[in-house]
Every structure is written in structure tokens, then in C-alpha cells.
Amino acid sequence: MGLQSDPFIASSLISLYFKCHSPLDAHQVFAQLQHRDSTIWNSMLNGYFQCSRPHKALFLLREMQLSGFKPDGHSLTILLKATSDGHLSLDHGKQAHASGVTNGLEVDPYLVTALIDMYSKCGDTVRAFKVFNGSFDKSISMWNAMIVGFYRHNMWERSLELFAQMRFEHFVVESATVSSVLMACLIGEAADFGQRVHCCVVKMGLELHPYVSSSLVVMYGKLGFVDDAERVFYGITYKRIELWNAIASVYTSRGLVYKALDVYNQMRLNGILPDSITVTNMLSASSLTGFWELGRRIHGDLIKRPVFLNMAVVQSSLITMYMKSGTLESATALFASTKDRDLVTWGSMIVGCCQNQNFDQALDLFNQMRAEELSLDATIIASTVAACTGLEFLELGCQIHCHAIKIGTNDDQLVGSALIDMYSKLGLPQLAGRTFSFLPYKNLVVLNSMVSGYSRNGLLDETVSTFSEITGLGLVPDQISVTSVLASVSSFAALEKGKMIHGYQVRNGILCDNLVENALLDMYMKCGCLNYAQIIFEKMQIRNIISWNTMISGYGSHGHCTKAIELFEEMEKSEILPDDTTFLSLLSSCSHSGSIEEGHKIFESMNVRYRIVPKMEHYANMVDLLARAGKLNEAYSFTLRIPTEPDESIWLCLLSACRNYRCLEIGEVVADKLLKLKPKESGSYLQVLKFYG
């Protein structure tokens, strides 16, 4: 075959085998070669990363160096891209950077661009800009990489400043630059600047470029200017597939699913074959709107014309769609039939399993990835940590935390948030706090996780302090931040702190949706400020079941049974259907106020009118209502009519009432029932002794 003497053919074969996911065949070709040049080594190195086998790639790199070959600019670029893609840790990327400097390759434009991209993707925009600024001969690709690097981390203003600097320095602006700047405008919601860029585009004659026109459509549409997006779209006579995909993504993002479907149909009528992006847009529309029939129809079209069916991005979108629709069997079957599984495919399965509370399967998939020595990205690590949280597998969660540190994903905000959530929910707020403190960059998601974690563990001062940290970092708290801190304030009835949070929310115009309003109702009710709660309640535009239940429960717990019942009657008129929580609050209120007749009416209404099956808590409240009023015979008879075995709380309630009213006859029967129910429970014996004492 002449394989050993032709490195070009050998390199092409190696690349081909890796693309066909046959790393063993690629290695066999490599092993047969007597003379290996840098092209051969780089083909192998790149192939292992493409197949998500970073350990093999690093082993090969050491073998390459031992063979006397120094990594060249291409080798280092491959390593930097692998770091950007999450296959290697940031430390590996820094080592590649150092190697480039040592070997005088820091002027290589491809290497510099890869460095900027790597540092920005790893969250270190300061170092990325230092590399960019230190380059004397900046290429267009470097400018583009830095613009993208800034807006990727929400530093969109810096992206726009760089674009202005490019124009000032008379750089020739290319279509890729314009597309990146328009994406920065989208992220920063800078519609005015986007319009100015649009004017520049027209002056430069780039408005018909498919990527530029597509970016304009996306920018206008996703900022809510759908009419402007449509004007750009319909203003172009020859529409390429990119433009069709752009308008479809706009309709999808705005929830205009039928318009998105119309685009899909128009494409087919115009003889334009959908590509993988079209398909993923349609599947995304299905997932976002719950229009599952659309997703199944797209899948059916793919089966008839399977050109895209085997693409990882399409299969990932299908898996996500089926997972969100709750059809795990279809998602699992599709995943099992997938040959070309990339990180996104694995991630879609693991994330989907967690969303459907199927944590065991998520961990099985994670272990399968580890067994196959596949690289793990932040999404997969974070989802696996969430699975450990769901199953309360603290030890395994700690092991995954250690692995995240080892591969360098522990600094990722998604991973950090998942770890904080795990430690908080499993009762280790100190470890959650340590994890939080080690994160170099804290976004609102991470800070919200910490606020929620401290609140869940009853740490009021820490909750309020972390909430203050959000504002101190110049971030704007959202509904999750506010509701979490209010929940903590409610638990401690810390009225002054609650008023402070409420005042901050009003002054800074934080969206006061149902979630926040209900949290405020709960806080003021638990702090005893019933009038404040009533004022907020009356001003609410939309009152959901939680709003009504919070008010009814609040009035009931403060002894205002009549007001609680009045609210219930008002709730009935508003056509909001009560739930079991509503009746639990009402019965508890009647019990504490001794309103026997009202209690009977409410219990009957629950059963007969609303057909809500009472839970043990409802029966317990009825027994308590009768027992507190001294109607022990009626309470005992009611207990015997409970369709399931009464629990300990009901017998204890009856026994306590028998002791208070000195009813020995019923008390002895109840004591016997209690001891038979909990024969080994010391608390039961203590209560019986109190009764006889």
C-alpha cells in the first residue's frame, strides 16, 4: 500500500478513521508508520480529542515529546481548543500557553486567537484581553475572538467598545465581526446600537451577506422587534437556509410556534431542504411550547429522510424534546441507537433524567461515561451532582466534587451552583459556604443558590448578608433572590429585615410577580403584620391558590377564624378552586377558635362539594376540634370512622383531651390503642403515664 512512505495518505486515513469513530483503526495506521512527522502526531492528537478521549491524547502528547518532537503551533492550538471545549483543564491550557512562549510561537496568529478563545471560554476575560492587547499585529480573527469573549460573559459593552475601536483604527470589518457585534447588542439589549450597526452594514454593502442578514433578524426579533426582523427577512429576495433558520429561531424564542411551523412548511414548498439547524429550531419550538405533536412530526420526517437523523446535534434535540415531554422510553431508545454520541448527546440524556427525577439512570450514564474514559464537561458534572442531591448520595457527590477539582470544572458557575445546592440540601451549609467562597466568579445563579441554601438551613444573618453581596457586586436581585431571603425572614419573624428587603424591592423596581407577592404575604403574616399583608393582597392583580391559602392560613394562625372563613367565601366567588391546603388551614383555624359548627361545614364541603379526599392531617384537625371542645365521645366516634388506620398524632390528641377532661373510660381505650400502635416508642409510654398520673 506504500502507507509507511506516504505521511499525507497516512494522515488522511487517520483523520478519516477518527471521523468514522474508529480510534482503534486510526491507532493501527499510526502504529504501522516507521516515520512520523508533526502532521501525523497532530492528526492523532486532534482525533483523540474529537472522540472525547483526552487521557489518550495526553498520553500521546507525552509519547510525542519523548520521541523528540516538540509541539508546534498546530499542536498547541489543538490543546487550547480541547481546553476551550472542556476536554482539558485550564491548567493544561496554561501549560500550552507557556510552551508557546518558550518556543517563540506567541506571534502565531492562529495560536493567539486560540489563546484568546480558550481564556475567555474558561471565564478568564482579563487574561484573554491581556493576550489580545499584547499582540502587535492583530488579525481580524483575534478581534472577533475578543468581541465574542466579552459578550459571552455579559460584558457586551466591552464588545461594542472594541468594535468602535476597530472602526476608528480603520480595520476592514468582515461579516463575522458584524455578526458578533450584533450578538453583543442582543445580549446587552442594546437595540439603539444595533440599529447603528445596521446602518454601518448598509454603508459597507454587507446587508445581503447571509450571516449578517441572519444576525440582524435574530437581533431584532429576540429583542422583541419582530416587525423589524420580518422587514429584514422579506427584504431579501434570495433567501439562503441561514436566513430561514434565523426567522424560525425568532418565532420560537417569542413563543410564536405556529409561525415557526409556517416557516418550516414554506421552506419545503419553496424547495429549500431543511438542515440540522432548521430541525433543531423546530424541536426547540416543540420543547419550549409543549407542542409535542410538532416534535413527533419532525422526528417522522427525519425517519423518512434520515440525512440528519444520525447527527449528534439533532439526536440531542430529539432526546431533549422527548425528555421534556416525559416520554423517557423514547429518549432512552433513541440514545441507545445513537452511534455518534458527543458530549451534548450524553448531557441531554443526563440532564433529561434529572429533570424527570430519574436520578439512578443519570448516575448509570455518568458511570458509563467514566468507564469509557470520555471527557466530562460542566453540564454533565452539574447534572450528576444534582442526581446525587436527589438521591441524597453525599459521599458520591463529594467524590464528583473532587473529580471536578481534578479536571478543572469546579470553578464553573454551573458546577459551583449545583455543589452549593447539594451541600445545602443535605444539611452541610458550611461546606456550601466554602464551595461558594472558592468560586472566582459569582453570577446571580450562584449567589441565589447560596441565599437559598442559607435560608433552607435557618441561617438568617448569612442569608441577608449574601443577599447584600448580590447588590454589592452590582447585580440586580431577581425573584428567586427576593423570595429566598423573605422565606428566611418569615421563619424568624424578623420584621425589620423583611421591611428592608421589601423596601429594596420597591425602590429598585424588581419585578413583583406572584412569586414575590406571595412571599411578601407570607412574611408579613408570620411577622403578625396582618394589615400590611391585606394591603398587598388587595393590590395584587392576579391572586393564585397560594395567595389565598397564605392569607387564610395567616388569619387562622392569628386567631381570626371569622376573617379566614370570609376570605374562603370570597375565594369561592373568584372561581379559584380550593385545594387540600386551603381546607387544612381552615380546619386548623376552626380548631384553635373552637368553631365546631363551621368546622363540620368546611369538612363536609371538602368531601361533598369539592370531592377532595381528606388526608390524615385533615382528620387530625377534626379530632382536635372536637376534643378541644370536650366532645370526646364524638371525637372518638369520628376517629373510628377514619377509613385508614389513624396515626399516632390523632391518638395522642385524644389522650391529651381525655386527661384534661378526666374521661377515664375513653382514655383507657385510647391508651391501649396508642401502645399497640407504637409498642417500642418511649414517648407513647410517657403520655400514657401522664394520663394515669
User: 346: how many CB neighbours lie within 10 A of its CB?
Assistant: 28
Cβ 551 vs Cβ 532: under 8 Å = no
pLDDT at position 511, please? 65
Residue closest to 465 by CA, chosen among 476, 478, 480, 450: 450
- Which CATH number belongs to the domain containing residue 406 in this structure? 1.25.40
Cβ 417 vs Cβ 423: under 8 Å = no
CA dihedral 470, 476, 481, 485 (to 10 degrees): 60
pLDDT at position 5, please? 58
What's the pLDDT tens digit per position in 655-678?
A: 999 988 888 889 899 888 888 887
pLDDT at position 658, please? 92
Per the domain annotation, does 217 fall within a domain?
no
pLDDT at position 222, please? 92
168 pLDDT more than 90: no
In the chain, the percentage of residues whose pLDDT exceeds 90 is 50
Cβ 394 vs Cβ 424: under 8 Å = no
When divided into structural domains, the chain yields a total of 4
524 and 450 in one domain?
A: yes
Q: Of 523, 542, 561, which residue constitutes the final position of a domain?
A: 542
Provide CB contacts within 8 A for 643, sequence distance 6+: none
362 and 348 in one domain?
A: yes
Query: How far apart are the C-alpha atoms of 580 and 603, rounded to whole Å?
Result: 11
Query: How far apart are the C-alpha atoms of 316 and 313, rounded to whole Å?
Result: 5
Please tell me the number of Cα atoms within 13 Å of 593 on its side-chain side. 21
Query: How far apart are the C-alpha atoms of 172 and 534, rounded to whole Å?
Result: 63
432 and 356 in one domain?
A: yes
Residue closest to 146 by CA, chosen among 189, 108, 113, 179: 113
506 and 449 in one domain?
A: yes
User: 465: how many CB neighbours lie within 10 A of its CB?
Assistant: 14
477 and 457 in one domain?
A: yes
307 pLDDT more than 80: no
461 and 386 in one domain?
A: no
Per the domain annotation, does 530 fall within a domain?
yes
473 and 499 in one domain?
A: yes
The cell 423583611 sits on which residue? 498
User: 574: how many CB neighbours lie within 10 A of its CB?
Assistant: 9
Q: Which domain holds residue 569?
A: 548-599
Cβ 150 vs Cβ 171: under 8 Å = no
What's the pLDDT tens digit per position in 459-485?
A: 999 999 999 999 888 888 888 999 999
693 pLDDT more than 70: no
Residue closest to 453 by CA, chosen among 490, 493, 413, 426: 426
Reduced to 3 states (helix: H, G, I; strand: E, B; else coil), residue 511 is coil
CA dihedral 37, 41, 44, 46 (to 10 degrees): -120
Per the domain annotation, does 563 fall within a domain?
yes
Residue closest to 154 by CA, chosen among 200, 193, 185, 112: 185
Pick the range with the lowest mean pLDDT from 95-109, 133-147, 356-370: 95-109
492 pLDDT more than 80: yes
Per the domain annotation, does 125 fall within a domain?
no
Per the domain annotation, does 171 fall within a domain?
no
pLDDT at position 634, please? 95
Query: How far apart are the C-alpha atoms of 598 and 584, rounded to whole Å?
Result: 13
- Alpha-carbon distances of 61 from 184, 213, 669, rounded to whole Å: 37, 43, 80
Query: How far apart are the C-alpha atoms of 230 and 529, rounded to whole Å?
Result: 52
pTM: 0.71
518 and 450 in one domain?
A: yes
Query: How far apart are the C-alpha atoms of 587 and 584, rounded to whole Å?
Result: 5
Residue closest to 396 by CA, chosen among 364, 374, 372: 364
4 pLDDT more than 60: no
277 pLDDT more than 50: yes
Per the domain annotation, does 675 fall within a domain?
yes
Average of per-residue pLDDT values in the chain: 89
Per the domain annotation, does 190 fall within a domain?
no
Per the domain annotation, does 367 fall within a domain?
yes
513 and 447 in one domain?
A: yes
User: 253: how many CB neighbours lie within 10 A of its CB?
Assistant: 18
